[in-house]
Amino acid sequence: MKGQVFERRTKIAATAEEVFLWHTQPETLEKLIPPWERVRVVQRVGQIGNGARVVFLIRLGPLRMRWVSVHRDYRAGRQFVDVQESGPFKRWEHLHLVEPDGPASCRLIDRIEYALPFGSLGEALAGVRVRRRLERLFEYRHQVTAQQFARSR
C-alpha cells in the first residue's frame, strides 16, 4: 500500500530507559497533546504494551471522530508501535523508538507511515496540510520531552 513517511529525531539529555519510562506514564500522553489540537483521550485499555488501546475524540473542523489506536511491537525500554484501528487515516503506523546515544543521552525517534483516505485525491487535497500538521505536532512533542529532562537534571 502506497503512503507517506514522516520521521522526527531529537537528541534528549537522558538515558533511553528514562525517556521510555516517562512515555509509559499515564499522564504523559496528555502532556504531549499540543494545546491547539482538538483531541481528547476518552478511553484507555491497558498500559503501553502489546494489545493496549487508546481511544481519542478528535475534531476536524466541524466533524467529530473517534480514533482508536492499538499498541504492538512492544520492546521494554526501547519501542512500541501505535496502529490505527479506526480513525481519520486510511493507514497509520507510528513507531515510538528510543535509542541510546552515549552514557547519558538518547535519540527519540517518531516514525509514522500513513496513507490518507481517497488515495491520490486525498493526497492532493490534504497532503501538504497533513504533513505541516505532523511537523508542528512532533516539534511540540519532542520539545516537551526535551524540556522534561532538562528540568529534572
Mean confidence (pLDDT) of the chain:
90
Number of compact structural domains in the chain = 1
56, part of any domain: no
> Is residue 125 scored above 70 in pLDDT?
no
The DSSP symbol for 102 reads S
Residue 69 is predicted with a pLDDT of: 97
* pLDDT given at position 3: 83
> Does any domain span residue 62?
no
**Judging by DSSP bridges, how do beta strands 79-86 and 4-12 pair with one another?**
unpaired
Identify which of 75, 108, 91 has the alpha carbon closest to the alpha carbon of residue 83. 91
Could you tell me the residue range of the domain that residue 91 belongs to?
4-33+71-152
- The rounded distance, in Å, linking the Cα atoms of 62 and 112 is 26
pLDDT digits (tens, 9 = 90+) for 92-124: 999 999 999 999 999 999 999 998 876 665 565
Residue 42 lies in a domain: no
The answer to the question of residue 48 being in a domain is no
Q: In the chain, what percentage of residues exceed pLDDT 70? A: 91
Whether 26 is in a domain gets the answer: yes
Specify the DSSP element, H or E, that contains 40: strand 39-45
Domain-located, residue 88: yes
Measuring CA to CA, which residue among 60, 16, 17, 57 is closest to residue 40?
A: 57
- Looking up cell 537528541, which residue turns up? 11
Domain assignment present for 136: yes
Q: Answer whether residue 10 is part of any domain.
A: yes
User: Domain holding 94: CATH number?
Assistant: 3.30.530.20
